[in-house]
Amino acid sequence: MRTKRTEAKLLGYTLFYDRTGKLVTERTSTDISKLKKYFTKEEFNTLTVVLREATTKLDTIHNEIEDHLNARLLTNL
């Protein structure tokens, strides 16, 4: 029997580190345009803005992590 979900993951950011020393970042997001019919206009607009801003911030974090890793690699030559 399936239960009806009351929440959904709209945005996620994960750091993976494997045994070989490889660090990988992953950002996942949901296309909320398909969910528009379930929200009021105000809710949909709020979610759109929040997802846009959060995505921008996560991209900044990703770039900073990448810059630090690249700097570490260059100093280890």
For residue 47, the model assigns a pLDDT of 95
Q: What is the pLDDT of residues 11-63, one digit of tens each?
A: 999 988 888 878 888 889 889 998 899 999 999 999 999 999 999 999 999 88
3-state helix vs strand vs coil in the chain, percent to 5: 55, 20, 25
- DSSP 8-state assignment for residue 19: T
Q: How far apart are CA 46 and CA 15, in angstroms?
A: 27
Sign of CA dihedral 50, 53, 59, 60: negative
How far is the C-alpha of 54 from the C-alpha of 77, rounded, in Å? Answer: 35
pTM to 2 decimals?
0.72
Alpha helices in 1-77 (DSSP H): 41-75
